A and B are shown apart, each in its own frame.
Chain A
Amino acid sequence: MSRTDSRGLVLDEKLLFESTSEGRVGYSLPQCDVPEVTPDSKLLRDEIADFPELSEVDVVRHYTRLSTWNYGVDSGFYPLGSCTMKYNPKVNEQAARLPGFAELHPQAPEHLSQGALQLMYMLQRDLAEVSGFDAITLQPAAGAQGEFAGMLMIRAWHEAQGNKRNKVIIPDTAHGTNPATASLCGFEVIPVATDGVLSKTAIEAVMSDEVAALMVTNPNTLGLFESDIREICDLIHERGGLVYADGANLNALMGISRPGDIGIDVMHFNLHKTFSTPHGGGGPGAGPVGVVEKLLPFMPTPIVVKEGDRYKLEYDLKQSIGRVKGFAGHFGILVRAYSYILSMGGEGLKRATEMAVLNANYIRARLEGEYDLPHKQRSLHEVVFSEAALENDCHTLDVAKRLIDYGFHPPTIYFPLVVRGALMIEPTETESKQNLDEFCDALLAIADEAKKQPELLKQAPVRAKVKRLDEATAARKPKLRWVRE
């Protein structure tokens, strides 16, 4: 049976506001056991026009049906490059829901939060061990906020040294968050072109005493280890700068190489990538940051410290950049990540990296003859093909949409920008050889379809809930909420 023969039950479902019936309720509240009082009516609103009125059954069916229109890692292979869509272990979900974690108020006294603080302390320690950094803050809410915290620390450190440096070097392979973050920290961006990997010469050419830092992703977004990274870090350091690493691709390095050992000064982690916490349909993630010792005084507060056998939130870092969000971090995500580390152990994390790299290289080997591979160096956890070998005016977008008909989530497309029509495939370690074979068979079949029946690609997807959507009109005449017609 071919993958395109399957049939599912796809039910239609209106918007909440279109299914509403006046007077219908889906809640239950305790009796009011105190005198019922209301404030001055001037302060009160009228009823919220068009707000939903639904029964519990309505709500359950609504969201259950919506869920069936989604494709998650639990539905199947999800090789979204740069996003590390590995399996999300169920025990982590259970751990985060333990009442002692889920029902803990952030303002509870320290001695009544010792378990939570101890978990955070141990996670800080474990992340430090995996990355080779001296200290970790768990506060940032996501990778982009981790970048922000990291770059602020770099800026604050320079200021403390009396340095007036306002430029940051960013390679053209970087995630868009890197330049956006640099600019939020008041830095000017110096873009630098790469040919697959960064060369020391290219960096040397733009390095000056106005440059505060280099932002680098290692392995980079082509899945290539920056082979000159040590020399480049030395150069930046000699010229008075610091090096920031985007930790998005840490899944390629666990137990193999530690950013903190090779000259990186600051790096954020994406716990939702490397440490298996769910991507949640777009978040929440968590973006802890590791730093070398000299940056420790600049970390956002609070951090968790241990005094004797007690754990506490330390707010008193004299040179801290301040907090980047409320409370101490995405604790529920931290629990999941810690649970994952407990399940994997040190050897298991290394094995995860090895299998992730094996999987990516296997896909590369199986597809290289049929799809164009612009960068031929030894790649790690992901592989980036271009659209150059596609025939009959078929493009990356068409391949991606056709993959949906074969029952797979497409890879990341059109990123990194340095590859024309990039197809960026990151399988992760949790996929079996059978899954990879089915996926490669599908991509090979699609390449063949492009030659013989290109319309199959152009029309795709035909088997999803909806066909291709008109994104241009969505942007030209934005309709961002429901309103009664």
Chain B
Amino acid sequence: MRYLPHTETDIRQMLETIGVTEIDELFSGIPEPCRLQAPLDLPPALSESESMTILRALAEQNAKVSEWDCFLGGGAYNHFVPAVVDHLVSRSEFYTAYTPYQPEISQGTLQAIFEFQTMICQLTGMDVANASMYDGASACAEAVLLALRVGRKRNKVLLSEALPPQYRETIATYCRYLEVELIEVPQQDGVTDQAELAALLDDQVAAVAVGYPNYFGQIEDLQALAAAAHAAGAKLISAVAEPMALGMFKAPGELGADVVVGEGQSFGIPLSFGGPGIGFFAVKQKDMRALPGRLVGETVDLDGKRGFVLTLATREQHIRREKATSNICSNQGMCTLMVGIFLALHGKQGLRKLAELNYAKAAYAKQQIAALDGFELAFDGETFNEFVVTCKESVADLQQRLEKEGILPGISLIKDYPELGNGLLICVTEQNSREQIDRLVSALAGGEA
């Protein structure tokens, strides 16, 4: 086996040094009734070429976004990934290392994370960001837990109905056995209903969580939502599932958000059927010590030279055990690197232009579709690169019809938002050319409305 370097001679010599005659003796600590009696029922080992043939055949059965006119978003976005990103993350000094427990030989990972933390702060308008969480949904759940920890005796959390459904479901799972009441704030015209919110806010509410952009692609009025939450002594959690929007829209921190979490997949991470992506998590200075997850900080070495270390570990599970701020142990190291490289490449100008390009493409599609018979924009108000249309035709029929033309027109909202009728969530990014958008529009128009 090519990964196992032992020769028969090595094994013999090693057994001799150990003082046993057979490998099986090394397992004598396992009582007989615990031993597996039969060989594992798995196929025999394959050569590299054979296993790649199988994997390639599996891969070929899937739809690649580059071969379709793909208008799917909903928490996973089809953005271009520059060649540099994969080239650099393929340096195995990065990806075959583990958590930087030994900072003297992990300065590469540590500096890259420190830079990642800084860029997340700059993007979100916050003071402190951690080294990342698993994904946007779990980061949002951890934000709710933070609010409950900091909010002491408060035991209600208000979740906007326009927060992505998967985020709400994940929060519900995380809170399943904690003493907290999760209450939904209805949406009105595609954004969190402020009158309903005001009615639900009281001194038991620890936090209000809203999307920005929200699940419908709409830009929420964070300033007003933050003001309402703060007036009741609650925190505003802003969840950003499509952070590309932060390239142009005001930063949540600037608008009063207390916790900004989100999904960073848009920044250089392949779609990969939904994972791995990366959760980001940022707070204001006063909540620094309540942060979950790893943090990298700057310090100096014995010679006074700048260096970076994991820090404030007394919040974490390996020290604090059952009193830790979270049970999270790892971060999404390799994905922080992808995001860092992507942001460094695009920089101040590029990220803005990329965001504006997404906005313009989606605005064009939105306008064209709104003009069609049988389709209506579900909501007024500003959107980024996603929007909802309601269709006369059933969404399932429409999806089937367009699929025959090589188009994946969007995500059906029928299950999650039945009250919208035939709701379709359409996402348009810089990857969709005008020709693709025009094809989508004429294909939509071609239906029996």
**A and B pair up:** yes
Q: How long is the Cα–Cα vector from A59 to B268 in the complex, in angstroms?
A: 14
B102, A70: Cβ atoms closer than 8 Å? no
A98, B56: Cβ atoms closer than 8 Å? yes
Residues of A within 8 A of B99 (CB): 279, 281-282
Chain B residue with Cβ nearest A28: B82
Is residue A317 within 8 Å, beta carbon to beta carbon, of the partner chain?
A: no
Q: Which residue of B62, B270, B322 contacts A332 across the interface (Cβ within 8 Å)?
A: B270
A70, B93: Cβ atoms closer than 8 Å? yes
B329, A142: Cβ atoms closer than 8 Å? yes
Is residue A394 within 8 Å, beta carbon to beta carbon, of the partner chain?
A: no
Interface 9-mer from B126-134, B150-158, B187-195, B369-377? B126-134
B94, A52: Cβ atoms closer than 8 Å? no
Q: Given the known A-B contacts A29-B354, A70-B93, are A467 and B277 also in contact in the complex, defined by CB atoms under 8 Å?
A: no
Is residue A205 within 8 Å, beta carbon to beta carbon, of the partner chain?
A: no
Interface residues of A in 93-133 (CB under 8 A from B): 93-109, 112-116, 118-119, 126, 129-130, 132
A433, B93: Cβ atoms closer than 8 Å? no
Distance in angstroms from A106 CB to nearest chain B CB is 3
Q: Given the known A-B contacts A101-B272, A106-B271, A404-B105, are A183 and B323 also in contact in the complex, defined by CB atoms under 8 Å?
A: yes
Q: Dominant SS at the A interface?
A: loop
A104, B271: Cβ atoms closer than 8 Å? yes
Q: Which residue of A66, A189, A323 contacts B166 across the interface (Cβ within 8 Å)?
A: A323
Residues of B within 8 A of A189 (CB): 321-322
Is residue A371 within 8 Å, beta carbon to beta carbon, of the partner chain?
A: no
Residues of A within 8 A of B296 (CB): 480
**Can you list, as one digit per residue, whether each of B80-106 has a CB less than 8 Å from chain A (1) or not (0)?**
001010111011111111111111111
Q: Given the known A-B contacts A70-B105, A72-B94, A109-B399, are A48 and B100 also in contact in the complex, defined by CB atoms under 8 Å?
A: no
Is residue B10 within 8 Å, beta carbon to beta carbon, of the partner chain?
A: yes
B177, A186: Cβ atoms closer than 8 Å? yes
A469, B360: Cβ atoms closer than 8 Å? no
Q: How long is the Cα–Cα vector from A352 to B308 in the complex, in angstroms?
A: 36
B29, A378: Cβ atoms closer than 8 Å? yes
B35, A257: Cβ atoms closer than 8 Å? yes
A103, B271: Cβ atoms closer than 8 Å? yes
Is residue A237 within 8 Å, beta carbon to beta carbon, of the partner chain?
A: no
A342, B46: Cβ atoms closer than 8 Å? yes
Interface residues of B in 21-67 (CB under 8 A from A): 23, 26-31, 33-36, 39-46, 48, 50-52, 54-66
Q: How long is the Cα–Cα vector from A113 to B275 in the complex, in angstroms?
A: 14
The 9 lowest CB-CB distance pairs between A and B, nearest first, are A327-B274, A100-B59, A106-B274, A115-B61, A345-B45, A282-B333, A280-B334, A72-B96, A281-B333
A466, B103: Cβ atoms closer than 8 Å? yes
**Can you list, as one digit per residue, whether each of B102-113 has a CB less than 8 Å from chain A (1) or not (0)?**
111111110111
Interface 9-mer from A36-44, A289-297, A448-456? A36-44
Chain B residue with Cβ nearest A440: B17
Residues of B within 8 A of A415 (CB): 318
Residues of B within 8 A of A54 (CB): 344-345, 347
Interface residues of A in 184-241 (CB under 8 A from B): 184-186, 189, 224-225, 227, 229-230
Q: How long is the Cα–Cα vector from A156 to B173 in the complex, in angstroms?
A: 11
Q: Which residue of A20, A80, A91 contacts B98 across the interface (Cβ within 8 Å)?
A: A80
B129, A180: Cβ atoms closer than 8 Å? no
Is residue A25 within 8 Å, beta carbon to beta carbon, of the partner chain?
A: yes
Is residue B204 within 8 Å, beta carbon to beta carbon, of the partner chain?
A: no
B337, A281: Cβ atoms closer than 8 Å? yes
Q: How long is the Cα–Cα vector from A404 to B34 in the complex, in angstroms?
A: 39
Q: Given the known A-B contacts A44-B249, A105-B70, are A53 and B348 also in contact in the complex, defined by CB atoms under 8 Å?
A: yes
Distance in angstroms from B53 CB to nearest chain A CB is 10
Residues of A within 8 A of B58 (CB): 100, 115-116, 118-119
Other A-B pairs, 9, CB within 8 Å; known A467-B302, A480-B298: A28-B82, A30-B357, A48-B123, A99-B66, A180-B320, A322-B169, A342-B50, A346-B41, A474-B297
Is residue B276 within 8 Å, beta carbon to beta carbon, of the partner chain?
A: yes
Is residue B200 within 8 Å, beta carbon to beta carbon, of the partner chain?
A: no
A279, B45: Cβ atoms closer than 8 Å? no
Is residue A9 within 8 Å, beta carbon to beta carbon, of the partner chain?
A: no
Interface residues of A in 3-62 (CB under 8 A from B): 13, 15-17, 20, 24-30, 32-40, 43-45, 47-54, 56, 59-60, 62
Chain B residue with Cβ nearest A342: B51
B108, A348: Cβ atoms closer than 8 Å? no
Chain A residue with Cβ nearest B410: A107
Residues of A within 8 A of B312 (CB): 475, 478
B134, A141: Cβ atoms closer than 8 Å? yes
Distance in angstroms from A138 CB to nearest chain B CB is 10
Chain B residue with Cβ nearest A75: B93
Residues of A within 8 A of B238 (CB): none
Chain A residue with Cβ nearest B42: A346
Q: How long is the Cα–Cα vector from A143 to B131 in the complex, in angstroms?
A: 18
Distance in angstroms from A40 CB to nearest chain B CB is 7
Is residue A392 within 8 Å, beta carbon to beta carbon, of the partner chain?
A: no
Q: How long is the Cα–Cα vector from A404 to B101 in the complex, in angstroms?
A: 13
19 of the cross-chain contacts (CB-CB < 8 Å) are A25-B349, A51-B122, A52-B347, A97-B270, A101-B59, A102-B272, A104-B62, A107-B76, A108-B63, A109-B399, A126-B42, A132-B36, A177-B317, A281-B112, A321-B173, A324-B174, A326-B138, A327-B135, A362-B14
Is residue B335 within 8 Å, beta carbon to beta carbon, of the partner chain?
A: yes
Chain A residue with Cβ nearest B98: A279
**Can you list, as one digit per residue, whether each of B311-332 has a CB less than 8 Å from chain A (1) or not (0)?**
1111011111111101111111
Q: Given the known A-B contacts A284-B334, A433-B6, are A377 and B275 also in contact in the complex, defined by CB atoms under 8 Å?
A: no
